[in-house]
Structure 1
Amino acid sequence: MAKMLYSVSMSLDGFIAGPGGDMSWLTPYIGPNPVVTDVIERIGALLVGKRTFGGDDPHRGTEKEGKPFGGGWEGPQFVLTHHAPADPVPGVTFVDDLQKAVAAAKEAAGDKYVNILGAEVARQCLTAGLVDELLVFIAPLLLGDGVRLFDHAGGHKVRLERLSQSETPLATNLWFRVVR
């Protein structure tokens, strides 16, 4: 059975995107990371928020632009949105209900991870008790403003158990299990 994993890169001050969803801050921190390589091989499907799907790309202007993990991963993608595009996108299914999107992504992933991409869809999954694990790559940078890792006024506590911690020159990797 597939597990739900939210993997994300974050600045030390808690931002996953700059103002307006700008992802250019991340470009200098994309590089060799054995944890990233390992997790990409263990992903069976993506659950993506609409803003993330159509948003900025840290690979902008390169041949890797628009490809999940810069082209390091291929497979089924499920985009959570109430406004699907008129024209189909190969390999992408647009779903307007969180529970249906999660069920479809889990089925497609098999025994691998469903990797969640996007702050809002991750927040919704966490609030609904659907996230099994979190993998945060902390970049050595204070971004100062932008989209927070989790921004939920009146939110609730979520207990985590650290599974692993490691470092590369470009990031500190923290992997957690959600304690239920």
Structure 2
Amino acid sequence: MGKLLYSATMSLDGFIAGPDGDMSWLAAHDGPDPESEALAATIGAILVGNRTYGGDDPNRGTDAEGAFGGTWSGPQFVLTHNPPTTPVPDTTFTDDLPGAITAAREAAGDKYVNVLGADTAAQCLALGELDEILVFIAPVLLGDGTRLFTHDGGTTIPLERLNTNHSTPSAHYRVLR
């Protein structure tokens, strides 16, 4: 079954969104990126928090709206306590994280389940379910916003670097257990 991969673009000072979830800063850093573009083909399902699912998309209203600049489509599992009353195609709304992880892994097959949203990723990590973290580093300092991870208690989480190409602006790690 699919591994859980938390992927995000992060500012150099550690933020994946600006204040109030602002993602407009990301549009200036979109562009050809072979590693990011190749990632979409390895994703079989998305597990996303409701704030991220309904949040600020810097490509809203364009052909590039949605996950991976609009290039990805498939099953999504959205964590929420308030599901919409109208069904959304290929989208399951649930407040059961362990159940959503199981369903997303099954839907992904041998591909990744891409975790989107800092809080959702932290919850998956706390459950011991997060397998990998892939961070694309944008050359910008946001100064405030949503951190890549907020991990209360000061517990150290060991990681193993997976990518060895140090010339790319990304870091890919395996979560060690």
TM-score normalised by the chain length of structure 2: 0.95
Other-structure match for 1:124: 123
Checking the alignment, whether the CA contact within 8 Å between 2:80 and 2:94 is kept in structure 1 is: yes
Number of residue pairs aligned between Structure 1 and Structure 2: 176
Other-structure match for 1:27: 27
% identical aligned pairs: 62
Other-structure match for 2:9: 9
Other-structure match for 2:132: 133
1:56 correspondence with 2:53 = no
Q: How does 1:43-122 map to 2 (within 5 A)?
A: 43-65=43-65, 67-122=66-121
- Shift of residue 63, structure 1, vs aligned partner: 2.7
Three-state SS of the structure 2 residue aligned to 1:174 is strand
- C-alpha separation between the residues in 1 aligned to 2:64 and 2:97? 29
- C-alpha separation between the residues in 1 aligned to 2:34 and 2:21? 27
- C-alpha separation between the residues in 2 aligned to 1:92 and 1:64? 19
- Shift of residue 33, structure 1, vs aligned partner: 1.1
Aligned pair in 2 of structure 1 residues 155, 125: CA closer, same or farther (>3 Å)? farther
Cα RMSD after superposing both structures: 1.2
1:59-90: CA deviation from partner (whole Å, max 9, x where unpaired): 1342322x221211110000011110111111
Equivalent residue in structure 2 for 1:173, among 151, 170, 173: 170
Q: How does 1:153-168 map to 2 (within 5 A)?
A: 153-164=152-163, 165-167=165-167
Amino acid at match of 2:62: T
- Shift of residue 166, structure 1, vs aligned partner: 4.3
Three-state SS of the structure 2 residue aligned to 1:136 is strand
1:119-140: CA deviation from partner (whole Å, max 9, x where unpaired): 1100100111111110000101
Which structure 1 residue ranges, 4+ long, deviate > 3 Å from structure 2? 165-168
**Runs of at least 5 residues in structure 2 that lack an aligned partner in the other structure:** none
1:152 correspondence with 2:167 = no
- C-alpha separation between the residues in 2 aligned to 1:85 and 1:167? 43
- Shift of residue 167, structure 1, vs aligned partner: 4.0
